[in-house]
Amino acid sequence: MKKLVLVVLLYSVGGFAQQDAQFTQYMYNTISVNPAYAGSRGVLSVFGLYRTQWIGLDGAPETSSFSVNTPLSKSVGLGVSLVNDKIGPTNENNLSADFSYSIPTSATAKLSFGIKGSANLFNLDPNKLTPEDQGDDQFQNLDNKFSPNVGAGIYWHTDKAYVGLSVPNFIETNRYNDNETAIYKDQINYYLIAGYVFDLDRYERIKFKPAILTKMVEGSPLQVDASANFMFNEKFVIGLAYRWSASVSALAGFQITDRLYLGYAYDRETTKLVNYNSGSHEIFLRFEFLNKYSKITSPRFF
């Protein structure tokens, strides 16, 4: 009977159902989960993120993400993103293009519709498998395996609030299935996000934003991420986040210049995995091309 070396890691990230790469600071790069977000900030935004998960655990997830999104007009937005995700002997590269179309629903609110087209390259290195599986022909066929996909989303937002519903990938992709014990495939991920910005003082120097992300994947527990962030003078951000039955996180960010923002998050497991790793680190930079005619139409929280 064939065995898959990643049983433990696959179980931890989705009960044998591979999920999309996860980000603690998704709220700064919402295009990663919802294509309707493209162009919603009103400026050309360039975003880069690096995440290393479960430090000290051999073969733990490591993710790099790069994206660019911009409005093309008052109604149309466009985005492109690349995500590299490594877990044990597997290495995935996912290139996506996002298109959004927005309609005003009031003087201060917009409803955006988005579509996503993506191309995925999946690679499994047999040399990192257990010796008895390294010669398995089915594993040899998983070198740069290509699979296309499509997704969609809706995103309603004002200057203070947002709600989004999305499915980044509609097509389930089987990567390995020996019909005996092991299944490795991309499942459909359903996302619901929401957040609201409160002004805590009359001069709007202190802002508070609670937010939530809910992700549902067939064959996996429901994932709920809740966060609470405070922004001071539109320069410094500090907050906490909790991933249900998984981890707690500390978040911090600083608006270095009007164009450049730096963010960092540290996650600590609340599961038994805490005994085998020293936490997860996530850092990102966002650069936005502003000019005297540019105006970010929503707070820097989203």
206: which DSSP letter? E
Which has more pLDDT, 287 or 297?
287
The pLDDT tens digits for 270-282 are: 999 899 999 999 9
The pLDDT tens digits for 174-190 are: 766 555 544 456 789 99
The pLDDT tens digits for 84-99 are: 999 988 899 999 999 9
Specify the CATH number for 7-289; select among 2.60.40.10, 2.40.160.40, 3.20.20.70, 2.40.50.140.
2.40.160.40
Q: Is a pLDDT exceeding 60 seen at residue 16?
A: no
One-letter amino acid at 206 equals I
Backbone torsions φ then ψ of 203, nearest 5 degrees: -95, 5
Q: What is the pLDDT of residue 69?
A: 97
For range 13-42, the mean pLDDT: 81
The Cα 17–Cα 181 span in angstroms is 13
Q: What is the pLDDT of residue 4?
A: 35
Q: Is a pLDDT exceeding 80 seen at residue 119?
A: yes
The Cα 300–Cα 23 span in angstroms is 18
10 torsion bin: left (phi>0), alpha (psi -120 to 50), beta (else): alpha
Q: Is a pLDDT exceeding 50 seen at residue 57?
A: yes
Q: Is a pLDDT exceeding 70 seen at residue 157?
A: yes
Confidence band, pLDDT 50/70/90 cuts, at residue 299: low
Which has more pLDDT, 296 or 51?
51
> Could you tell me the residue ranges of all domains in the chain?
7-289
Backbone torsions φ then ψ of 219, nearest 5 degrees: 85, 5
Q: Is a pLDDT exceeding 50 seen at residue 10?
A: no
22: which DSSP letter? P
| Residue of 29, 60, 53 lying closest to 268 (CA atoms) | 53
Backbone torsions φ then ψ of 7, nearest 5 degrees: -55, -45
87: which DSSP letter? E
Whether the CB-CB separation of 161 and 148 falls below 8 Å is answered with no
